[in-house]
A and B are shown apart, each in its own frame.
Chain A
Amino acid sequence: MSQWLEQIVERASHSQLNAIKQQALAALKQQRWPNRKTEAWRYTSVSPIEQLELGGQKDSQPQPSDITGLDSLDLLFIDGVLQQSLNNLVLPEGLMLQSLSQLDAQGQAVADDLFGKIKPAHHLFGLVNDLVAKQGLVVDVAPGVQIDKPLRIINLSSQGQESHLRLLVRLGDNARLCVIEQGEGQDPSLNTAFAEYSLGVRAHLEHYRLAMHTHKAIQVGGNHFRLQEKAQLNSTLVAYGSDLSRLDVDIEHAGEHAHAKFNAIYLLGSGETFDLHSCIEHAVPNGTTEENARGIVGDRAKAVFNGRIHIHRHAQKTLAELNNRNLLLSRRGQINTKPELEIYADDVKCAHGATVAEIEEKALYYLLSRGISRSQALIMLNFGFIQELINDMPNAALADWLQEQLKDKFSQMEVK
Chain B
Amino acid sequence: MLKIQNLHAKVEDKTILKGLSLDIKPGEVHAIMGPNGAGKSTLGYVLSGRDGYEVTDGQVELNGQDLLEQETEERARAGLFLAFQYPVEIPGVSNMEFMKESVNAMREARGQEPLSAAEFLKKAKEACKQVHLPLDFLKRGVNEGFSGGEKKRNEIMQMILLEPTLCILDESDSGLDIDALQVVADGVNSQRSPERSFIVVTHYQRLLDYIKPDFVHILADGKIVKSGDASLALEVEKEGYAWLGEAQEAGA
Q: Which residues of A contact B (CB under 8 A)?
A: 360-363, 365-374, 376-377, 380-381, 383-388, 391
Q: With contacts A361-B51, A380-B93, A380-B97 known, is A372 near B88, CB below 8 A?
A: no
Query: In this assembly, does B4 line the interface, its C-beta being within 8 Å of a C-beta of chain A?
Result: no
Closest CB-CB distance, A399 to chain B, in whole Å? 13
In the complex the two chains form, is A388's CB within 8 Å of B102's CB? no
Given A381-B93, A388-B91: A369 in contact with B106 (beta carbons within 8 A): no
In the bound complex, CA of A377 to CA of B141 (Å): 15
**Shortest CB–CB separation between residue B50 and chain A, in angstroms?**
5
Asked, given contacts A361-B51, A365-B51, A380-B101, whether A370 binds B92 with beta carbons under 8 Å apart, the answer is: no
Between A and B, 8 residue pairs with Cβ closer than 8 Å are A361-B51, A366-B88, A368-B73, A370-B76, A370-B162, A376-B101, A381-B90, A384-B92
Question: Which of chain B's residues has its CB closest to A294's CB?
Answer: B92
Flag if A369 contacts B72 (CB, 8 Å): yes
**B52: nearest residue on chain A (CB-CB)?**
A361
The 6 A-B residue pairs with the shortest CB-CB distance, nearest first, are: A384-B92, A371-B76, A370-B102, A387-B92, A368-B72, A371-B105
Residues of chain B with a CB closer than 8 A to A365's CB: 50-51, 72, 88
A374 to B92, CA, bound (A): 18
Task: State A365–B76 Cα separation when bound (angstroms).
Answer: 11
Please state if B102 and A372 are interface contacts (CB–CB under 8 Å): yes
Q: Once A and B bind, how many residue pairs between them come within 8 Å at the CB atom?
A: 83
B141 to chain A, nearest CB (A): 7
Are the CB atoms of B90 and A384 closer together than 8 Å? yes
Tell me the minimal C-beta distance from A325 to chain B in angstroms.
11
Closest to A360 in B: B88
CA distance A368 to B92 in the complex (A): 17
Distance (whole angstroms) from the CB of A266 to the closest CB of chain B: 15
Contact residues of A: prevailing secondary structure: helix
- B residues sitting closer than 8 Å to A (CB atoms) are 48-51, 71-73, 75-77, 82, 84, 87-88, 90-93, 97-99, 101-102, 105-106, 109, 141-142, 158, 162
Interfacial chain B residues near A383, Cβ < 8 Å: 92-93
Q: List the A side residues contacting B93 at CB < 8 Å.
A: 367, 380-381, 383-384, 387
User: In the complex, what residues of B have CB within 8 A of residue A376's CB?
Assistant: 101, 105
In the assembly, what is the distance between CA of A372 and CA of B98, in Å?
9
| CB contact between A388 and one of B71, B77, B141, B162 (< 8 Å): that residue | B141
Pairwise interchain contact B51-A370, C-beta atoms closer than 8 A: no
Contacting pair B76 A368 (CB below 8 A) = yes
**Is there contact, CB below 8 Å, between A366 and B87?**
yes
Among B84, B98, B162, contact of A367 (Cβ-Cβ < 8 Å)? B98
Q: How far is the CA of A369 from the CA of B88 in the complex (A)?
A: 12
Max chain B Cβ within 10 angstroms of own Cβ: one of A371, A384, A388 = A371
Complex contacts, B109 vs chain A, CB 8 Å: 371
* Cβ A369 vs Cβ B82 within 8 A: yes
Q: Are A366 and B84 in contact (CB under 8 A)?
A: yes
Q: Which residues in A have their C-beta under 8 angstroms from that of B50? A: 365, 369
Contact residues in B for A362 (Cβ distance below 8 Å): 88
B residues near A360, Cβ cutoff 8 Å: 88
Known pairs A361-B51, A380-B97, A380-B101; A370 contacts B158 (CB<8 A): yes
**Contact of B90 (CB < 8 Å), options: A361, A363, A368, A391:** A363
Q: In the docked arrangement, what's the CA distance between A361 and B50, Å?
A: 10
**Residues of A contacting B76 in the complex (Cβ-Cβ under 8 angstroms):** 368-371
A368 touches B158 (CB 8 A): no
Q: Which residue of A lies closest to B48 (CB)?
A: A369
Whole-angstrom CA separation of A373 from B84 in the bound complex: 19
Query: Is there contact, CB below 8 Å, between B73 and A371?
Result: yes
Query: In whole angstroms, what is the CA distance A369 to B159 when docked?
Result: 12
Given contacts A366-B88, A384-B90, contact A371 B162 (CB under 8 A): yes
Residues of chain A within 8 A of B75, CB atoms compared: 369
**How many angstroms from the CA of A319 to the CA of B105 in the assembled complex?**
45
CA–CA, A368 to B48, complex, Å?
9
Chain B: CB-nearest residue to A367: B98
How close is A376's CB to chain B, nearest CB, in angstroms? 6
- Does the CB pair A391–B92 fall under 8 Å? yes
Pair B82/A371 contact, Cβ less than 8 Å:
no
Residues of B within 8 A of A374 (CB): 71, 73
Contact status of A371 and B106, CB under 8 A, knowing A366-B87, A376-B101: yes
Q: How far is the CB of B46 from chain A (nearest CB, A)?
A: 12
Q: Which of A366, A372, A386 makes the CB contact (< 8 A) with B105? A: A372
A384 close to B91 (CB less than 8 A): yes
By a CB distance below 8 angstroms, the chain A residues around B71 are 368, 374
Question: Do B105 and A373 touch across chains, with their CB atoms under 8 A apart?
Answer: yes
Check B90 against A370 for contact (C-beta < 8 Å). Answer: no
Could you tell me if A363 and B88 are in contact, using CB atoms closer than 8 angstroms? yes
